[in-house]
Amino acid sequence: MSIIVSQITKLYGQQKAVDGISFELQKGGIAGFLGPNGAGKSTTMKIITGYLPPSEGQASVCGFDVAKHPMEVRRRVGYLPEANPLYPDMYVREFLEFMAGMHRLGRQTGPRIREMIGLTGLGPEQHKKIGALSKGYKQRVGLAQALLHNPEVLILDEPTSGLDPNQLAEIRALIKSLGEDKTVMLSTHIMQEVEAMCSRVIIINKGRIIADDAISALQQGGGAYIQVQFSEEVPAGELEQLPGVTRAVAAEGHVWRLYTGEPETVRKNLLQFSLNNNRNILSLHSNSQSLEAVFRELTN
């Protein structure tokens, strides 16, 4: 496991910012870490990256205990905090060179800086002072420094804050590509971003994890079904044999409700079934909720 969090609690005086949470993240994937303001998201991220010690519990990154081996953890983690602390009087390239020195990149400094400037789209702004940049470009600088040392784990707290729609699409594509061979933990309030980039969602509220599952499972819930209408009668047995279908219930007008926990799998199998058996599909839809609706329901 790339990240293991076990019974982590963080106290600020008598207040529990994080209350005994546990989860694990594997390499290769993007997990959305969601919750209302004050739920404990940023505190948890700071504990994983070694910026805050837990009051109780343990966290490890790539096999290294955060409390016992903080430097080993930081070598393997790229962190973009919500506040995105930068040096406004430094030039973009100067700042990245400074960060490369902190990571002791040596001869790799020049090539890595050029690569990060290209990846994050900082080319036109690379010779400007950071203080003169727009908020969107400052976010790009923060993302570039998080990626500079090629970390195995990325912790991104509101990475798309301040980006315009064009910038947002570019950074979204970059984060998705990074999730193919790194472990990415992403916090954001923009549900469309989570639906576009993440395969798994962890929702925290009042310091406790209240949901941890694939997005499709959260959206579908226990009574999920796909409703399909055929142009002619179809035997129930044929539909119940489709992979992913747990139960088929008939309705009027050659309409069927196919109950499933794997809606995308069933959709694909239905289309293939239609082609293979010459069964014409007139309509097809599911009862899934938006992630935003699920979030509101769980956190309210």
Residues 4-28: pLDDT tens digits? 999 999 999 889 999 999 999 998 8
Residues 101-160: pLDDT tens digits? 999 999 999 999 999 999 899 999 999 999 999 888 999 999 999 999 999 999 999 888
Q: Are 152 and 48 within 8 A, CB to CB?
A: no
3 state DSSP class of 167: helix
The domains of the chain are located at: 3-214, 221-295
The one-letter code for the residue type at 252 is E
Q: Are 99 and 59 within 8 A, CB to CB?
A: no
CATH of 3-214, one of 2.60.120.620, 3.40.50.1000, 3.40.50.300, 3.90.870.10: 3.40.50.300
Measured CA to CA, the distance from residue 299 to residue 294 in angstroms comes to 9
Considering Cα of 145, then 147, then 148, then 152, what sign does the dihedral take?
positive
Measured CA to CA, the distance from residue 50 to residue 33 in angstroms comes to 18
Q: What is the mean pLDDT of the chain?
A: 89
Residues 155-202: pLDDT tens digits? 999 888 778 888 888 888 889 888 888 999 999 888 888 888 898 999
Looking at the DSSP bridge assignments, the partners of residue 133 are none
Q: Are 5 and 59 within 8 A, CB to CB?
A: yes
Q: E strands along the chain, which residues?
A: 3-12, 15-25, 29-34, 56-61, 64-65, 77-80, 153-157, 183-187, 200-205, 208-214, 225-230, 245-251, 255-260, 281-286
CATH number of 221-295: 3.30.70
